[in-house]
Amino acid sequence: MNLFIASVQRDLLVHFRHPSEVLNPLIFFVVVISLFPLGIGPEPGQLKEIAPGIVWVAALLATLMSMDSMFRSDFEDGSLEQVVLSEQSTFIFVLAKVASHWLLSGLPLVLLMPLAALLLFLDEAGIWALTLSLLLVSPTLSLLGGIGAALTVGLPRGGLLVTILVMPLYVPVLVLATAMVQAAEAGSETIGYIYWLLAILFGAVCLAPIATAAAVNVATDQ
């Protein structure tokens, strides 16, 4: 627990000293959402129909923008190798890195989601469904993305490769989350989608840190 808390505090402090790394994905998200009404027209009905897909694609891309930096700075300054060589648990260290990533990228997107939904003329049911779906899915995105970030941390330009590796893992949650918002907009029941997203999140919490820790060990061995 001490390692977890110390790692999270350190990551938050490092990123707050470089605010552009935190703000760039958020600005990208807001800009993408703002450009769609200009590109396809301000018709509320049309924007409302495609809003779930727009918001989720923008959120996914914004998350991927910050994924490559999850382990990059620790790898470059040698602290990642020190963690692996020490007696500290790599599993707990990986969990701390994922938690930090979610606090810096996932949680701000959740807070921005109601504003994005209003820009696309979603009603109250759609706003709540969109916010809840992102709250359930954003930790999963960080957990699955950590696998790709760890696998490519030793490569000089691993950002694109991270996207290629984790995008197939993101597709199921993207489909379910979008369908959940569409069901809420249509007045249908959404509890089934919530259960599926919770099941995926539980599976990611159990399995993704193990795979990420193994990838970190492989990267430091190289």
Q: Tokens for 194?
A: 């919530």
Name residues whose C-beta falls within 8 Å of residue 109's C-beta, 6 or more positions apart in sequence: 26, 29, 59, 62, 63, 134, 138
Contact between 188 and 205 under an 8 Å Cβ cutoff? The reply is: no
pLDDT over 90 (residue 120): no
Residue 5's pLDDT is what?
Answer: 80
23-27, 61-65, 152-156, 207-211: the lowest-pLDDT one: 152-156
Q: Is residue 63 within 8 Å of residue 142, measured between CB atoms?
A: yes
Instruction: Let me know: does 26 contact 61? Beta carbons within 8 Å.
Output: no
Report the distance separating Cα 153 and Cα 22, nearest Å. 19
State the DSSP code for 49: H
What type of residue is 152?
T
Number of domains in the chain: 1
Structure tokens belonging to residue 34: 């703002």
Confidence band for 222, pLDDT divided at 50, 70 and 90: low
Q: What pLDDT does residue 139 have? A: 92
Do the beta carbons of residue 90 and residue 217 sit within 8 Å?
A: yes
Domain that holds residue 129: 2-221
